[in-house]
Amino acid sequence: MPTVFSHPAPVLALAAALGPRVVPPRLLLFGVFCAVLPDLDVIGFKLGIRYADLLGHRGFSHSLLFALLLGLLGAALAPWLRCSRPAACGVALAGAASHILLDAMTNGGLGVAALWPFDTDRYFLDWRPIRVSPLNLHVFFGRKGLEVLISEWRWVWLPCLAAGATGWLLRRALSKVRRKLHP
Say if CB 79 and CB 21 are below 8 A apart. no
* In the predicted structure, residue 24 carries a pLDDT above the cut 90: yes
Residue 74: pLDDT band by 50, 70, 90 thresholds? very high
Question: What whole-number distance in Å separates Cα of residue 148 and Cα of residue 3?
Answer: 8
Q: Check residue 159 and give left, alpha or beta (phi > 0: left; psi -120 to 50: alpha).
A: alpha
Q: Rounded distance, CA 177 to CA 136, Å?
A: 52
As beta bridge partners, residue 123 has: 112
- Of residues 160 and 45, the one with the higher pLDDT is 160
Answer yes or no: pTM beyond 0.85. Answer: yes
**pLDDT greater than 70 at residue 1:** no
Q: CB under 8 Å to 143, separation ≥6 — which residues? A: none
103: helix, coil or strand? helix
End-to-end CA separation in angstroms for the chain: 49
**Which range has the worst mean pLDDT, 35-49, 55-69, 81-95, 134-148?**
134-148
pLDDT digits over 76-111, tens only?
A: 999 999 999 999 999 999 999 999 999 999 998 889
Alpha-carbon distances, residue 141 vs 105, 135, 149 (angstroms): 22, 11, 11
* Rounded-to-integer distance, Cα 115 and Cα 35, Å: 18
